[in-house]
Amino acid sequence: MSAGLVRLWQRRLSSAPSSSARILSSVLLRSLHSPAPASSLIEQHEPIKPKGKWLTLPPFSPPIDGVSIGKELAGRRPVAETEPMSALKWVRRCCPHLPVSLVHKLFRLRQVRRDQTAQVVYNGNATSAEQGRLRRVSVKDAMMPGEVIFLPVSVQNLTTEGSYRSKYNDVEISFVRSLELYKDEAIIVVNKPPGMPVQGGVGIRYSMDALAANCLKYECSEPPRLVHRLDRDSSGVLVLGRTQTSTTILHSLFREKTSGALADDINVTQRPLQRKYLALVIGTPRHSKGLISAPLAKIVLEDGKSERIIIADDGKSASSQHALTEYKVIRSSHDYTWLELFPLTGRKHQLRVHCAEVLGTPIVGDHKYGRHAHRKWEPMRLPESIIKGEKIPKKKLPFGLELDGGSISEKLPGLHLHCKQMVLPNISVALQQLQSSTDHDFSKVEKLNLKKSTVLESLPWPQAPMKVLGRMSLMPLPPTAFHQLHPSFPHLVTITSLSSPHYLKAHFRMTQHPDPSASSFLLSLRRMGSVATGRTITGWAARDASGILSPYTFTLRKTGPEDVVIKVLFCGVCHTDLHQTKNDLGGSKYPMVPGHEVVGEVVEVGAEVTSFRVGDTVGAGVIVGCCRECAPCKAGVEQYCNKKVWSYNDVYADGKPTQGGFASAMVVDQQFLVRIPSGLAPEQAAPLLCAGVTVYSPLKHFGLTAGGLRAGILGLGGVGHMGVKFAKAIGHHVTVISSSHRKRAEAVDHLGADAYLVSSDEDAMAAAADSLDYIVDTVPAFHPLERFLPLLKLDGKLILLGVINQPLQFLTPMVMLGRKSITGSFIGSMKETQEMLEFCVERGVTSTIEVVKMEYVNEAFRRLERNDVRYRFVVDVAGSNLDA
């Protein structure tokens, strides 16, 4: 739109001094992005009530195409042809104060008109002669330059004046405005404090978008709008668009940033938008810097409401989105590391998922993607002498903010993720160029470097390993901030901000070469105790064939270079544990600590361990060793090795007996551990390491993963219920076969089985003959097979998974005449186990469990023997405090 049209518009306004006309004029002028405030461009007039029936909107002029401008600023070719603006969009643009439902109603009632001659002089109302030339407008009608839209004059009562009037007091408004880092005609940049959500939602009273709309509107006729960001809970630099056009340009820039990172060489391409984050993470990445390239996908959890972002398996799924993040280690202090993160794409929760899942170092305070690490969180406490010595004045902050809170000295630390810097084109300058000349060159538009210094940057770092406490390292360092040394402990630094109108207190402390005499006063980060060779631990063991378990003290075997020491968190209870402790299978050796569905935390790794790091959540299953030389081992199916080493009731190569997961710790070769994905709770993952993979492996091996097959699950226990869940997740029609009607409701209503057969019902069994492609037999007790073989179709398979100490019987013609197969399968390989865990996260498959303490384990065994469990016991080993 030319400057001449603006002047013509101002002249016409002089004859139409209505408040509605002034509002609509400000909307038009706002779309021009004039560098001067709207109040200086538009003359002020006393309000006069309009005459006539119609209220006139400004003549249509194609608005600025924010998407194309964003593309040009990003150095890309703009869109060749834009979609024409409809009448509905033009009315909404001119009258943003009108409710959407009212605008649609006006169109339906034919109360929206236009003057096709475009000769009506804008004066706030139309004459009767002019009204005769008005025509009805539909919502999809394309607007032509010069066309004028008329609305009923009654809508002028719904003006925007006061609609965004601040509802906060002067102190609160002053606080919000003190967060500003930068402001021009196009954008506002704020330094969002930690603890304040970016956007509102259920249970959120104060959020940055609502506060900005009320406190940062200034002279604009519309409130500032939030622009895309990676995470709503992070703190630091946050950009808001002051107008609809500038917001559209910002959105376009963020989209071009993502597409550019995928299409171009990220090492040589100059990026128009750059962001730098600081994050405090638990653990230390293997490499000091690198590029994370891992696609992300969104899954819906079992409750149907909660969503979670996960690492996509292959990146080829339609729902997956590629994501790139550069990272660099700044400083590391034992269990904690400061990272600089440079997101090259803008995916939701990208930084949090990449840190937790790819680097294996979840961000402190990330209770969603790093919840496993935070389950064992132990806040650190300040020495009383230091607490009493801190005489820093405190003042209550507006909106209930607690900037002192959320440090790692608290039980629930806040998210330690801070947007430190953002570089983007100067949108205001670009719009001024566009307005002043049609021959513009956006390649020369200056860049805005929006940066806020932090406490982390301003303090000298000690050369020796240090320990850091606190969250203020993520907070801004105001000009009035200062730091002081503790008089008794010079290694202790306290940061205080006395910025008006409120006080900020920092929790940033570091230790360097502390005086041993003052060790009782020093603050140190919590570190998992190293389980050294020969360390004595406690487990619960069976002493004889009675199978009764009781506390048993023993020493761990010598830790080798490829061994991993894990602190046991949870351990599932398998029916095999019952058999072994009671010597049902023969060969039981006592004392015996059972348990082969073990989930734990890595607390120590050998010198040659490359697959895991301290702090990782891992799983150990039925076997912990093999010969690595036989054909099964070389084929990657080590579970069939004749020299495999069982998790318990076996001996290692050095003659040391193996003991299972009903103990506080274990030593396991890295080859026989799997990584527990963040999408699985550790207690849920435990039964999958045996019951889950026992079902998953034969389905995959025998080619039963195609959808549409008809499955039979014989026995509805720990393994059987997983069979139902896996078969349903794959897309099979599932029939549960049981000896009575007792489990019908559980099978159909709870687990989602499609049919239920009672094996003693001869009529029902006869009707189901030749109906199943396969049967998974999970019954761990003697039972004749003749009753179930007729259910199989031609080439059907009966897969035996239950461990039985008696010979099974069947008539050979029942197999021969249908070319049927009776086969078996034993757990799964380590590769299949890891694949199965990822499948469970992707498809939302979980085990149904009952968590108990170790003191209840003998009763759990008795109930398991009576088949009185739905469907798997899991022992909370860590919560039982065995070593206490």
For residue range 135-166, what is the model confidence (pLDDT) as tens digits? 888 888 888 887 888 888 887 766 444 444 55
SS3 state of residue 351: helix
Most confident among 4-18, 243-257, 451-465, 738-752 (mean pLDDT) = 738-752
Model pTM greater than 0.85?
no
- For residue 387, what is the DSSP state? H
Report the alpha-carbon distance of residue 664 to residue 671 in Å, rounded: 21
Q: How many residues does the chain have?
A: 884
pLDDT confidence tier of residue 441, bands split at 50, 70 and 90: low
> For the chain, how many structural domains are there in total?
3
**CA distances (Å), origin 15, targets 21, 44, 125, 131, 526:** 10, 12, 11, 19, 74
534 band by pLDDT with thresholds 50, 70 and 90: low
Average pLDDT over residues 717-722: 91
The mean per-residue pLDDT over the stretch 442-470 comes to 49
Q: Is the pLDDT of residue 713 over 50?
A: yes
**3-class SS string, 262-285:** HHCCCCCCCCCCEEEEEEEEECCC
Residue in the block written with tokens 């099964």? 632
- Full DSSP string of 293-338: E--EEEEE-TTSS-EEEEE-SSS-STT-B--EEEEEEEEEETTEEE
pLDDT recorded at residue 476 = 34
**Does residue 336 have a pLDDT over 60?**
yes
From CA 561, how far away is CA 544, in angstroms rounded? 34
| Residues 380 and 408 sit within 8 Å (Cβ to Cβ) | yes
Tell me the CATH number at 796. 3.40.50.720
- Residue whose C-alpha is closest to residue 508's, from 474, 476, 469, 477: 469
CB 531 within 8 A of CB 565: yes
Q: How confident is the model at residue 302 (pLDDT cuts 50, 70, 90)?
A: low
- Spatial neighbors of 202 by CB under 8 A, at least 6 apart, are none
pLDDT score of 353: 92
Residue 857 is predicted with a pLDDT of 95
Torsion of CA 638, 644, 647, 650, to 10 degrees: 180
Name the nearest CA neighbour of 148 among 128, 133, 166, 164.
Answer: 133
Residue with the bigger pLDDT between 593 and 208: it is: 593
Of the candidates 360, 284, 357, 372, the one whose C-alpha atom is nearest the C-alpha of residue 878 is 372
Distance, CA of 872 to CA of 638 (rounded, Å):
26
Please give the pLDDT value at position 800.
95
pLDDT value of position 339: 92
To which residue do tokens 């022992």 refer?
875
Boundary of a domain, candidates 157, 172, 202 = 157
What pLDDT, on the 0 to 100 scale, is given for residue 304?
A: 62
Q: How far apart are CA 238 and CA 471, in angstroms?
A: 19
β-strands 872-876, 849-852 pairing? parallel
The answer on 552 and 615 residing in a single domain is yes
Which of 811, 826, 841 corresponds to the end of one domain?
A: 826
Look at residue 617 in the predicted model and tell me its pLDDT. 96
Q: Could you read off the pLDDT of 856-874 as tens digits, one per residue?
A: 999 999 999 988 888 899 9
Average pLDDT over residues 337-349: 88
Count of other CB atoms within 10 angstroms of residue 77: 8
Query: What is the pairing mode between strands 645-646 and 536-542?
Result: unpaired
Q: What is the mean pLDDT of residues 702-730?
A: 94
Amino acid at 229: R
Top pLDDT among 461 and 308 is at 308
Q: Coil, strand or helix: which one is 699?
A: helix
**Cα(595)–Cα(724) distance, rounded to whole angstroms?**
24
Q: Are residues 661 and 698 in the same domain?
A: no
If you average pLDDT over residues 764-778, what whole number do you get? 96
Tokens of 184: 């021009």
Under the banding of pLDDT at 50, 70 and 90, the label for residue 420 is confident
Residue 137 and residue 41 in one domain: yes
If you average pLDDT over residues 574-581, what whole number do you get? Answer: 92
Integer Cα distance of 151 and 161 in angstroms: 19
Q: Do the Cβ atoms of 279 and 646 come closer than 8 Å?
A: no
Residue entry with tokens 């650190």? 380
Mean pLDDT (the chain) is 76
One domain for residues 28 and 140: yes
CB atoms closer than 10 angstroms to residue 423: 15
For residues 815 and 796, state if they share a domain.
yes
Residue 731 — left, alpha, or beta (φ > 0 → left; ψ -120 to 50 → alpha)? left
pLDDT value at position 711?
97
CA distances 332 to 209, 328, 329, 602, 638, Å, are: 35, 11, 7, 19, 38
Total Cβ atoms within 10 A of residue 532: 10
How far is Cα 666 from Cα 134, in angstroms, rounded to an integer? 85
On whether residue 819 sits in a domain, the answer given is: yes
Beta bridge partners, 539, equal 552, 663
CA distance 347 to 366: 17
Check whether residue 739 and residue 645 sit in a common domain: no
Above 60 in pLDDT, residue 882?
yes
Q: What share of the chain has pLDDT > 90, as a percent?
A: 34
Last residue of a domain, which of 782, 809, 826?
826
pLDDT for the residue 56:
84
Task: Mark whether 611 and 725 lie in a shared domain.
Answer: no
Considering only residues 340 and 470, tell me which one the structure prediction assigns the higher pLDDT.
Answer: 340
Whether 111 and 60 share a structural domain: yes
Which among 757, 744, 746 has a CA at the least distance from the CA of 714? 757
The three-point CA angle 73-179-38 to 5° equals 60
| Confidence label for 479 from pLDDT (cuts 50, 70 and 90) | very low
Cα angle for residues 11, 13, 17 (degrees, 5° grid): 140
**Which residues have CB under 8 Å from 470's CB, separation 6+?**
407, 408, 409, 506, 507, 508, 509
Residue 825 CA, distance from chain mean position: 36
Does any domain span residue 181?
Answer: no
- Judge if the upstream peptide bond of residue 591 is cis by omega within 30 degrees of 0: yes
Mean pLDDT check: name the lowest of 242-251, 695-704, 790-799. Answer: 242-251
- Nearby residues of 268 by Cβ (< 8 Å), 6 or more positions away: none
Both structure tokens of 378? 């132990």
The whole-angstrom separation of Cα 117 and Cα 788 is 84
Beta bridge partners of 342: 326
Q: Is the bond preceding residue 96 a cis peptide, omega within 30 degrees? A: no
Which of 800, 801, 790 is closest to 766 using CA atoms? Answer: 790
What span, in angstroms and rounded, lies between the C-alpha atoms of 730 and 186? Answer: 52
Considering the domain architecture, whether residues 595 and 702 belong to the same structural domain is answered as: no
Q: Is residue 45 part of a domain?
A: yes
Report the C-alpha gap between 443 and 445 in whole angstroms: 6
722 and 670 in a single domain? The answer is: no
How far is it, in rounded angstroms, from Cα 62 to Cα 695? 63
What pLDDT was estimated at residue 521?
22
Q: Is residue 120 part of a domain?
A: yes
Among 578, 111, 676, 164, which residue's Cα sits nearest to residue 372? 676
Answer yes or no: is 426 within a domain. no
First to last CA, the chain: 78
Select the more confidently predicted residue: 475 or 393.
393
Of 661, 669, 566, 671, nearest to 616 by C-alpha is 566
Taking only the tens place, the pLDDT of each residue in 621-637 is 999 999 999 999 999 99
Please give the share of the chain, as a percent, with pLDDT higher than 70: 71
Q: What are the helix (H) ranges across 401-494?
A: 427-436, 455-458
Which pLDDT value is given to residue 447?
76
- State the pLDDT at residue 439: 64
**Is residue 501 reached through a cis peptide bond, with omega within 30 degrees of 0 on the bond before it?**
yes
Give the range among 113-122, 291-300, 620-629, 739-748 with minimum mean pLDDT.
Answer: 113-122
β-bridge mates for residue 876, sequence order: 570
> How far is C-alpha 182 from the chain's CA centre?
30
Are 245 and 362 in contact by the 8 Å Cβ rule? The answer is no
Pick the range with the lowest mean pLDDT from 153-157, 304-308, 800-804, 826-830: 304-308
Least confident of 8-22, 409-423, 443-457, 574-588: 8-22
The CB density around residue 46, as the number of other CB atoms within 10 Å, is 6
Q: Are residues 7 and 60 in the same domain?
A: yes
Spatial separation of the C-alpha atoms in residues 572 and 597, rounded to whole Å: 5
The pLDDT assigned to 701 comes to 95
What count of other Cβ atoms lies within 10 Å of the Cβ of residue 657?
A: 15
Q: Lowest-confidence range among 447-456, 506-515, 718-727?
A: 506-515
**CATH code where residue 557 lies:** 3.90.180.10
- Least confident interval from 94-98, 341-345, 355-359, 728-732: 94-98
pLDDT at 537: 92
Instruction: Say how far apart CA 338 and CA 355 lie, in whole Å.
Output: 12
Instruction: Give domain status of residue 218, yes or no.
Output: no
Residue 309 pLDDT greater than 80, yes or no = yes
In-domain check, residue 725: yes
Are residues 705 and 664 part of one domain? no
Lowest mean pLDDT among 61-65, 354-358, 612-616, 769-773: 61-65
Domain carrying residue 95: 3-157
Does the structure show a pLDDT above 50 at 19? no
Average pLDDT over residues 651-678: 92
- pLDDT for 516 equals 30
Environment class of 318 (CB within 10 Å of its CB; exposed 0-12, middle 13-18, buried 19+)? exposed
User: Helix (H, G, I), strand (E, B), or coil: what is residue 552?
Assistant: strand
Whole-number pLDDT of residue 378: 75
Contact 626, 691 (CB under 8 A): no
What does the CA dihedral 870, 871, 873, 878 come to, rounded to 10 degrees?
Answer: -100
Q: Is residue 448 part of a domain?
A: no
Distance CA 113, CA 631 (A): 83
**pLDDT (average), residues 571-598:** 93
The structure tokens 């102190």 sit at 171
Can you give 180-202 as a three-state secondary structure string? EEEECCCEEEEEECCCCCCCCCC
